[in-house]
Amino acid sequence: MREIGHFIGGKHVAGTSGRSSKVYNPATGEMQATVALASVEEIRAAVENAKAAQPKWAATNPQRRARVFFKFVELLNKNMDELATLLSKEHGKTVEDSKGDVLRGLEVCEFVCGIPHLQKGEFTEGAGPAIDMYSIRQPVGVGAGITPFNFPAMIPMWMFAPAIACGNAFILKPSERDPSVPLRLAELMIEAGLPAGILNVVNGDKAAVDAILTDPDIAAVSFVGSTPIARYVYGTAAMNGKRAQCFGGAKNHMIIMPDADMDQAVNALMGAGYGSAGERCMAVSVAVPVGEDTANRLVEKLVPKIESLRIGPYTDDKADLGPLVTKDAYNRVNGLIDRGVEEGAKLVVDGRGFKLQGYEDGYFVGGTLFDHVKPEMDIYKTEIFGPVLSVVRAKNYEEALDLPMKHEYGNGVAIYTRDGDAARDFASRINIGMIGVNVPIPVPLAYHSFGGWKASSFGDLNQHGTDSIKFWTRTKTITARWPSGIKDGAEFVMPTMK
């Protein structure tokens, strides 16, 4: 049985805590590895390595830091098939979907290749009498990232790429459910020329998270996961004097206007609702057709497509989606489908009980469709994180707009329409962080920032884009005046520009 440890100080190390967790193959239900769960002492060892390596890395000029990422991008492309297969074995998503996971992380690494420009400060000559003023952006020191199971390549790179490019050292605590890809990324960073100790990967559970949040040498923490844990991480980090950006749950709506191209809308819902078995924080889980005719046409077109979804293991290159990540996830999603039936929603397509020949013990749930879902139902309020789509019928545009506006979460939302006025009004008024107009999953590209509103996000700065450079650096402002501009005698009044 394969034993997975940690990556500290530029090399793999075995766990010493005596605690471990099981890693399963989601398609078969079989255990394929064990992963060590770090103790406080092991987190501290990673921090000590990072702290020792960071000053020299921060003093490395930004062009040389960028060159590491140029090489890393090259290695990611070279090893794409290996990374995607490794990811799929532990997560369960299709290989093509896993390649997308790696690619969206790679794009952030491409973005930070511009760190010589991104990290520049500002200068004002003659800000006062014989005074020049300038600001510089310096790294925070040692940063940490706590990442979820659903994107084990993309989200770690969203965090460590800008942090390291800015001159920081980094402690990554990935999900213990699929830990192999983050460790492989650390190997590739070393191969790309990153000094040992700058990127450390420490596997663990809540004990490791708490050790990160209370360690006095970790200055900043980035987190992606559920909203209750995001609140906990944000509050604990703040109490311990750390800056934090924490991203939580989502319940993403897609409004379908009567004038929308229905075939385009249906295809968008299929990919956004059922891709990756719905295990995406930007998955569309609520369809809101405006008007009964729109709703009837939508459901009529959705049903045969959902019933014909091809579900299979990652080894099936024709599969549309794979299994859920764990047995617990499987039980939770099935339980929420049961709950939807109890609450009175109309179960149009039932994905419970799906079995795949030869993979009877896998964590597969078939595509599921509810109609006539009401806002007071648990299946509407809860992030299901499975291949379940709910249709909430709206009488008019204002009623449709009101649904995502009043929902607890504010991660992403989309509208499908041919009406530019409606689209513009929607984008202007909606209280959601990321909006798609005829785009079902509006994840911004790497040079814009990713982040939700309301209970989907805690902290002032988002992931990637220029926000990430601000988050992983501190601004230092210098006011300089040389002897020829200094008057004789002491000055006792507040300095002004008079």
Helix (H), strand (E) at residue 247: strand 243-247
User: Where does residue 379 rank: exposed (0-12), middle (13-18), buried (19+ CB within 10 A)?
Assistant: buried
CA pair distance 259, 476, nearest whole angstrom:
53
**DSSP, residue by residue, 269-317:** HHHHHHGGGG--TT-EEEEEEBSHHHHHHHHHHHHHHHHT--B--TT-T
Q: What does the alpha-carbon distance between residue 455 and residue 283 come to, in Å, rounded to a whole number?
A: 16
Neighbours of 310 (CB within 10 A): 10
Measure CA of the first residue to CA of the last residue in the chain; give whole Å: 75
Q: Which residue has the tokens 């990811």?
A: 87
CB under 8 Å to 176, separation ≥6 — which residues?
21, 23, 35, 37, 203, 204, 205
Contact between residue 112 and residue 64 where contact means Cβ atoms under 8 Å apart: no
DSSP conformation class of 463: B
- Cα→Cα distances 96→102, 181, 365, Å: 10, 15, 19
Concatenated DSSP letters of 304-360: HHHHT--B--TT-TT-SB---SSHHHHHHHHHHHHHHHHHT-EEEE--TT---TT-T
**Cα–Cα distance, 97 to 87 (Å, whole number):** 10
Q: For this structure, is 281 an active site residue?
A: yes
Any idea of the CA torsion for 489, 494, 496, 498, to the nearest 10 degrees? -60
| Sign, CA torsion 316/321/325/330 | negative
CA pair distance 65, 76, nearest whole angstrom: 17
Of 109, 166, 246, 281, catalytic: 281
Q: Which residue reads 């099935």 in tokens?
A: 334
Q: ∠ CA(377), CA(382), CA(384), 5° rounding?
A: 115
Q: Alpha helices, DSSP H only, in 137-226?
A: 154-165, 180-191, 206-214
Kindly state the helix (H) or strand (E) to which residue 35 belongs, with its residue range: strand 30-36
Reported as type and span, the H/E element at residue 77 is: helix 62-78
For the annotated catalytic residues, the residue numbers are 281
